[in-house]
Amino acid sequence: MKTAVGLLIMALVFGLVIYMLVRRVWRLYRVISVSIPVANDVEAFSYRLTETIRGLRYRENPPAGAVRTFRAPAWQQWAVGLQDIRLEPAGSGNVLLTGPAFNVSLIGRGYTGARMIPYAGPQPVWPLLKGMLKIMGVGVGFFAASGVALFLFGPR
């Protein structure tokens, strides 16, 4: 009976984690776009925006034309397949910032006149699923190792 209760608790925890990842985490890791109006001093605006992105531990790739790309931290790319942030001119004195929702919306809140733009590009479904499977694999491995340790070294 204790085994069945333990397995039921593990199944409920597993179901709760899957529910959380699908419902809650998707809102954070989907790709969105934010249009930010450029201030009068373009150089100061660019510096402030670059430092804001670097403050989130993103690293800038060498610029390729007008589009600037900032790479996500390696551990976040491994864990959840975090996407890069793209910064490109959007015309009429605006800059288009595209990337993961929780980082891009956080950056956009720091600028007056920033507004969400509908993003029609591909969403990172497969990287997020791979990240979820990696995290679940680590969790299952941890529980398996804990179970083996309790079985071998626990009280009898």
Mean pLDDT of the chain: 87
Cα gap 44→149, rounded to integer Å: 57
24 has pLDDT over 90: no
63 has pLDDT over 80: no
Q: What is the distance of C-alpha 57 from the center of its chain?
A: 12
5 has pLDDT over 80: yes
Burial class (CB in 10 A: 0-12, 13-18, 19+), 66: exposed
Structure pTM?
A: 0.72
23 has pLDDT over 80: no
pLDDT cut 90: percent of the chain above it: 33
pLDDT cut 70: percent of the chain above it: 100
98 has pLDDT over 80: yes
Distinct helix (H) and strand (E) counts, the chain: 6, 6
- pLDDT of 64 reads 75
pLDDT tens per residue, range 31-46:
899 999 987 888 888 8
- pLDDT of 35 reads 92
Query: Domain spanning 2-153: which superfamily?
Result: Sirohaem synthase, central domain (3.30.160.110)
